[in-house]
Amino acid sequence: MSTIFQKIIDREIPADIVYEDEHTLAFLDINPTNKGHALVIPKQAFENVFDADIDLFAEMAATAVRVSRAIKSALNADGVNLIMNNGEHAGQEVFHAHIHVVPRFKNDDVFQPAKHTNYEDGESAQVATQIIAALEE
């Protein structure tokens, strides 16, 4: 899989790397939602959560925790959003798994307005049953 992220891992193109270990790399997004917006990627590429190795995904999550704490501290952020887009129709643009760590500040309104939906009567139970059945497959 040759993506822009693989080129960053291979040091073929520059990036502002903020963290690296044996399994993961974190660097600043070149098109940030807020300053300090970072991406956490696995060094061993997989496309998204649907083909993720669970242990490697756990390494990504651990790195996201470390980077989140550092961003909050360094930038005096009020919080962070962890976001992972999985699939084209979920907004995934680079098909190398990545977790966005987006620093948030009071009244920044970067993701507003949020869209929500409602279940019809009994619909949530039906959806839950479908998910449970898929987990048992």
Which residues are identified as catalytic?
98
Residue 102 host element (H or E): strand 99-104
Q: How far apart are CA 120 and CA 19, in angstroms?
A: 45
Are 9 and 43 within 8 A, CB to CB? Answer: yes
Q: How far apart are CA 57 and CA 41, in angstroms?
A: 9
